[in-house]
Structures are given as C-alpha cells and as structure tokens.
Chain A
Amino acid sequence: MPLYHNDDQAMLKDSVAPFVAEQAPVSHLRKLRDSADATGFSRDLWAQFTEMGLPGMLVPEAHGGLGMGHMEAGIVLEEIGRNLTPSPFLSTSVGAVAALAKAGGTQAGRWLPAIASGEAIIALAIDEGAKHRPDRIATTATRAGNGFRLDGKKSFVLHGHIADMSIVAAKTDGGITLFAVPKDAKGVTADPRRLVDSSLASHVTLDGVEVDADAVIGEVDAGGEILDALLAATRTGAAAEMVGVGQGAMDMTVTYLKERKQFGKLIGEFQGLQHRAAHLYGEMEVARATVMKAQQLLDEGNEGAKLMVSVAKAKAGRAANLAVREGVQMHGGIGMTDEYDIGLYMKRDRALAEYMGDVHYHIDQVARMNGY
C-alpha cells in the first residue's frame, strides 16, 4: 500500500475539509468558549457529523457503521485539528470504538450501534494522575454480588461529565479489566475542569460503584489487550489531530510572513525567518508521513504498529509544538493577543500533546520496544 491517500480517501478529505471549515471554524470554538458552554462541544455540530456518518466511521458494518480504518478517521481528525473544533470524535468514535470492536460481546452490541447513530458519547477513564501511566492503574474492581464494585480516581477524562458511558480501566485479581460504566451509575462523580484550550476534562471519582458482570468489556483480567487497542487508536488519532493543529498554525504563519511589513519589507523576505519556516515545513512533512504509517500499520493489523504509534505520537508532538511556538514568535506582538487565533493553536497543541502520553512518555516507549 502506498503511503498517500487513495482516491476514496482523497474524496473523503474533499468532503470533510470544507464541511469542518464552514461549520466549525475557529470562531465556533470562540463562541463556545465565550458563552461558557458547559457541554464542551456543540450537539448541533455532532448531529451534522452524524448526518455524514462520521461518528460510526470505524464501527464495523455489522454494528451499523461504515467499517472504515484509521487512515480515514485521521482525515477527519486532521480537519478537527486544523479548525480547533471541540468534538467528542476522538474519544467516542476512535478510542471507544477500537476497544469495543476489539472486545466484541454484550457491550459492543450495546454501544457500537449507539455510537454509529450519534446517540452515545463515550469517555475514556484511563489516567489517574497528572501524567499518563497506564501501566500503573490503581483503580480496583472487586467481585461483589453478581458483579463488581469499582473504587478509585480518574483524571483527564475528556467529556467525562456528560458521557453516556465511560470506559473505566481497573485492576482485577489477575490483570486489568475494562468496564462500561453508564452515566447514571451510583457512586460516580465527575468534576469537570476547564483546561487551557477551553475543553472540559473531568476528575472522576468512583466510590463503591456497583456494576453488573456484563459491564465487563471483553473478559475479566483480559483487558490489557483491549486497553492496548484503545490506546493505540487514541494516540494515533491524537497524533493526526496534532498534524492538523500544526499544519493550521504553519499555514497561518506562512501567510502572515507574506503580509506583515517591517523595515519596509515583507518579513518573509528575511532569511532568518525563511530558514526557520522551511525547517518547520520539513518537520511537519515527516510528522505527517509518520502518522500515516502508523494508521496504515494499524489498519493492516501489523505487529509493528505499536512501535510506529509511539513514534507518531512523539514525532507529531514535536513537530506541532514547533509549529505553534514558531507561529506565536513569528507573529510577534499580535501573536500574544487573545483576539488573534495563533495562540489558540498553541493551547490546543499543549492539551493534545499531553493526551494519552506526551513526547517523553512515547520516546521512552520507543526505547523499551527496542530493548533498551
């Protein structure tokens, strides 16, 4: 498979890119932010996503979805990134779908069709501290009656306060188990916090939450593989979104270099800025190729995917970070103002970079996967 979009994928991009740019440009984010929106995204926009079939892109056709792959989901995420669109797409339609499709069974049958029809928003309750450490999950699930009792604290749970269901990773006697915890479960408290990029992420407390045995996603103690699938999909998706954020910031900055005059010249004439912009271009191109490779390997079910996913999250993290930092610097004073969009790109990049493992986490993973 060549590492560029095929005709179908190019067509998908041609329909999604103008749709997101028209319906949810950066002004859409500003409107939600300035109205102190309590949901974290626009349900009207999600309904429009649903009309286009986007929430169920990755949902298998048997469950009412389109049965597409990560390469296609990445096309949507890049546009979400480029327009800084607040959306539950990444957690619901990518992370949760990957876990449910991998696990199959009751929960897949319950939630996958609801995701595809746009009815269900899903949150991913994985992290427990300020840093992403999925190998140190302390939340416990103990057998109680017919089911389990969950106790613990989760953090950085995007959409956690409004999600119809949260996928909770917990420790069981013999390993990790994933649970589908419905919105109204007793003992769940979600405390949403406004983040730097205006998104809402919750601290979720699980205090003696009782769930039935069939709330288990997959098998008891066998959640490790399902969690891996969830993480691989979400990390790759976040990387694709960062490519969009970085590209958006870079495009805006290159345009500014061609408009802004100082010392009687367009600032884009100065070689000091030209070389930095050209360097950034190279980094963004490499990041884009890397993310596509990770998507391709995931779609093929290739065993090399895990390494490439970490490479992609790290590389896209580095490149997008360079794009937003250079973006603000090259815009000069106006780049520091709230009125101008470039600063919003910097904020979004910071949140995405942290999500599901930052650059340092994934560099460390690359070392481990290579045996050192």
Chain B
Amino acid sequence: MSDLDAFRAEVRGWLEANCPAEMREPIREEGDVCWGGRNWVFKNDAQKAWLEACVSKGYTVPDWPKAYGGAGLTPEQTKVFKQEMKRIHARSPLDSFGIWMLGPALLQFGTEEQKVEYLNPIARGEIRWCQGYSEPGSGSDLVSLQTFGEDKGDHWVVNGSKIWTSYADQADWIFCLVRTDKTNKYQGITFMLFDMASKGVTTKPILLISGNSPFCETFFDDVEVPKTQFIGEINRGWDVAKYLLGHEREMISGGGAGGDMVSIGSAFAKAFGKNAAGELDDPILRAEMAAFDVDVFAYRAMGERFMDMWKTGRAHPASSNMMKYVGTELNKRRHELVMSGGGSEALEWDSEETKGGARARGWLRTKANSIEGGTSEVMLNVIAKRILDLPGA
C-alpha cells in the first residue's frame, strides 16, 4: 500500500468515526452552513461536534501548516481528503472569508507573528472575518477607492464607507483596503485589519432582489487602527488585493463556478415526467437542457485541465479570468433553466413546499455571479488585453 493509500484509509476511518450523520445531509438552509465567530449559534450539537472534531485534527484548513491550525497536508493528501469528504457527502465543517481570502493573503504576505496570531483563530472558527473592498463609487474601478486612513503616528484614523461587505453585520474583524496616500493611485492603498467592534464602525444590511441581505454597507467614522495592523507594506496594499482577486478567481474556477456539475436534464426528467419514448416530456426544454448539459460537462473538463495546468505553472496567469467568466455565465444559465423547469411552482416566494422560495431566491442570487469578484465585462477586458494582446485594451 502506498503512503497515499494508507492516508486515504486513515482519513476514511476517521471520517466514519467522527462525521455525524446529520453532517452528511445536503445543505438545506442558511443555518446549515457553519460560519463560526464570536457570536455563532450552532444549529445543533452535530454541527458543533463536527467543527470541534475537525479543529482538533486541523481539518478545517487541511493544507495549512500545523503551526497555524492546519493539518499540514501535501497537495496530494489534500486532494485525497477532499475526495473522501465528498464520498460521504460530508458538509464543510467551517466556511469563512478567513479561510478563503485572508488566510491565503497572510500566508503569502504576513509576518510570522501575524500568521500565528490571526490564522489560528480562523482555523478554529473563533473569529469571523469580512472583506472591505468595494465602495459606493468604486465597483469595477476598485483602485479609485476613497476610504482614507489619516496617519496619526502610532495609528490611523479611518473615515469612509464600504459596500457589498458580505455578512459585515455578523463579522468580528474586517480586512479592508484603505487609502493612505492620496497622491498615488496604485501605491497609496494599505491592506488593514481591524476589529468590527471598534468605535466608529457601523453596518447596515442591504436588501437584495432575492429578498435576502447577505451584504452590508459599512461605515467608518473616525475609526482608530493601530499601525501594526496591516499586511505587506504600507501603501502597497494593492499588491495584496490583486493577489487575492487572482486567488478568488482561481477558487471560483476550481470550485466549479458552473454550479452543480450533474446533468440538469436527468434531474428534471424525474420531476417532469417522460413521454413514451423515455424523453423528457417537453421537447424544447429537453433540447435546451441537453445543450446546457453539454456545456456543463465541457466546463467540467475545462476545470480539470485548468487546475492541472495551474498547479504545475502551465496555465496563462490570466486564464482564471476566463474560467470565472465562463463558469459564472454558465451558472446563471442553469438557474434560468431551473426556473423554466419549475414553472409556476418555482415562482412561489415563501411557501413551505418551496422551502421559502428557494428556487426563485437562488435564481436571483446567481445574477450577482457575473458582477461580484470582477464583472464578466472586466473579465473579457482582461482576456483581450493580457491573453489576446489586443491593442489599447
């Protein structure tokens, strides 16, 4: 037995013993996702037990070093771990922007002290982070951001506002892009970290077309931030932000931005019924779903090739933009078909049978896929400029 096979057997045994049955059920509602943090209320004992079991092994962040709360797994072991999790349909023990976004930035740009101080509470689910990037006047043109940190010697005084801050009202800390030099557009931004309980921080949830409020407006009114709480160099926060945006697109690309990768047509045939020939009983919808399935299976192959190339340094550095563009557009198309397939039932907004209008709300949510993290149009601009090398782009 190879080392990797032995590791697989070990993980399989551990999961069998430690992953509660309830944590192998599909995610049904918001509370099923464990975000952690100071104010987290576990939905049930199983969610708590599952998180604690994973924390004890470093499995909330399996590929982070042990010193920072991870399990120190190699990329091959991490792949095996994920395969075994998927095999039993285990839920993620902990989701967080700390794991997805801040962690990778700290691992790349943080000092040793910062890594120890910030990564461990993220891995344990003790501190929940939010991301302060966009501003009301700075969406796609992020670098024009205006939130300003005035230098007061040992601290900054931050004033301004952020928008689209995911779960800012429930987050403990924020990682935030703040202008610290008004004379230099790109080299005048600092990547700051501060406590959302600081004096002068307020949040206001934004009601979206889905009827949900996952995002907030966040206001800073003379917020004092110690001048030790930044990543990288002062005025070079844009480098960190760019790295993270690339990482975010890579994550979206690798994580299946196309949404669920199973055949939409076969799922609907079950609900919709088939004709005597065994075909989904609506020829035009069948054709559209089959055409969509082709694109989904094709995108799955693209995802595999992209990750194989990315991990070995063969991919064009801008190719994650292409993945993000194709994947998010595909996911939007999926949800249009889900709505068509669901008919008038899918229109119901709050009935119990539709789990509170899950399809309608989910469909509306996906419209943001091609806006957040860089719009489709920005992705196309980047491809035109950096990959196709078109003039003036």
State in angstroms the CA–CA spacing of A300 and B49 once bound together. 42
Beta-carbon contacts under 8 Å, A141-190 to B: none
Q: Which residue of A lies closest to B280 (CB)?
A: A372
The CA of A308 and the CA of B388, in the complex, are separated in Å by 29
Residues of A within 8 A of B269 (CB): 371-372
| CB pair A372 B268 closer than 8 Å | yes
Q: Which of A285, A293, A308, A364 interacts with B319 by CB under 8 Å? A: A285
> What is the minimal beta-carbon distance from A247 to any residue of chain B, in angstroms?
13
Contact-size category for A? 35 or more
**SS class, residues of chain B in contact with chain A:** helix
CB B272 to nearest CB in A, in angstroms, measures 9
> Closest approach, in angstroms, between the C-beta of A370 and any C-beta of chain B?
4
Query: A281-B387, A367-B265, A370-B266 given as contacts; is B392 within 8 A of A269 (CB)?
Result: yes
B304 x A3 contact (CB < 8 A): yes
> What 1/0 mask marks residues of chain A from 279 to 318 whose CB sits below 8 Å from any chain B CB?
1011101111110110000000000000110111011001
A293 touches B384 (CB 8 A): no
Closest beta carbon of chain A to B303's beta carbon, Å: 8
For the complex, count residues of B whose C-beta is within 8 A of A.
Answer: 46
Assess whether B380 is in contact with A279, with CB atoms less than 8 Å apart: yes
Pick from B326, B380, B389 the residue with the most CB of A within 10 Å.
B380
Partner of A289, one of B274, B290, B291, B302: B302
* Distance, CA A80 to CA B263, complexed state (A): 33
CB of A258 closer than 8 Å to a CB of B: yes
Q: Which residue of B lies closest to A257 (CB)?
A: B390
Answer yes or no: B289 CB below 8 A from chain A CBs. Answer: yes
Whether B263 lies near A370 (C-beta < 8 A) is yes
Chain B residues with Cβ below 8 Å from A287 are 298
Q: Which residue of B lies closest to A362 (CB)?
A: B294
Q: How far is the CA of A269 from the CA of B391 in the complex (A)?
A: 5
Q: Does A4 contact B (CB under 8 A)?
A: yes
Stretch touching chain B among A101-109, A129-137, A193-201, A270-278: A270-278
- Docked complex: A334-372 residues within 8 A CB-CB of B: 362-364, 366-367, 370-372
A265 to B392, CA, bound (A): 10
Which residues from chain A contact B14 at a C-beta distance below 8 Å? Answer: none
Chain A residues in 8 Å Cβ range of B302: 285-286, 289-290
In whole Å, how far is A110's beta carbon from the nearest beta carbon of chain B? 37
Q: Which of B68-76, B106-114, B144-152, B307-315 contacts A (4 or more CB under 8 A)?
A: B307-315
Q: Is B6 an interface residue (CB 8 A)?
A: no
In whole Å, how far is B166's beta carbon from the nearest beta carbon of chain A?
A: 27
Instruction: Let me know if B227 is at the binding interface, CB within 8 A.
Output: no
- Interchain Cβ contacts within 8 Å, total number: 146
Residues of B within 8 A of A293 (CB): 301, 304-305
Report chain A residues within 8 Å CB of B291: 314, 363
Contacting pair A2 B308 (CB below 8 A)? yes
Inter-chain contact A366/B280, CB cutoff 8 Å:
no
Q: Is A65 an interface residue (CB 8 A)?
A: no
Q: Which residue of B308, B326, B389 contacts A282 across the interface (Cβ within 8 Å)?
A: B326
Are the C-beta atoms of B377 and A366 separated by less than 8 Å?
Answer: no
A275 to B301, CA, bound (A): 24
Q: Does B222 contact A (CB under 8 A)?
A: no
Give the contacting residue for A4; candidates B286, B287, B295, B305; CB below 8 A.
Answer: B305
Nearest B residue to A316, CB-CB? B298
Whether A289 pairs with B301 at a CB distance below 8 angstroms is yes
How many whole Å from A134's CB to the nearest CB in chain B?
18
Smallest CB separation, A180 vs chain B (Å): 34
**CB of B279 within 8 Å of the partner chain:** yes
Residue of A nearest to B384 (CB): A274
- In B277-295, the 8 Å CB interface with A consists of 278-280, 286-287, 289-291, 293-295
B178 within 8 A of A: no
Q: CA of A4 to CA of B319 in the docked complex: distance in angstroms?
A: 15
A266 at the interface (CB under 8 A from B): yes
Given contacts A4-B305, A285-B319, A364-B290, contact A311 B298 (CB under 8 A): yes
Task: Give residues 100-138 of B contacting A (CB, 8 Å).
Answer: none
Among the listed A269, A308, A367, which residue makes an inter-chain contact with B286, where contact means beta carbons less than 8 Å apart? A367
Contact partner of A254 (CB less than 8 A), chosen from B263, B305, B388, is B388
**If the complex has contacts A4-B308, A370-B293, A371-B266, are A274 and B393 also in contact, measured as CB distance less than 8 A?**
yes
5 further contact pairs, Cβ within 8 A, besides A315-B298, A318-B294: A2-B308, A3-B301, A282-B325, A290-B298, A372-B263
A selection of 26 A-B contacts at a CB cut-off of 8 Å is A2-B308, A3-B304, A3-B305, A3-B308, A257-B391, A265-B392, A268-B391, A269-B391, A274-B388, A277-B384, A278-B380, A278-B384, A279-B325, A282-B326, A286-B295, A286-B299, A289-B301, A293-B301, A293-B305, A362-B294, A367-B280, A367-B286, A367-B293, A370-B266, A371-B269, A372-B278
For the complex of A and B, 5 pairs with smallest distance between CB atoms: A372-B269, A278-B383, A293-B301, A269-B392, A367-B290
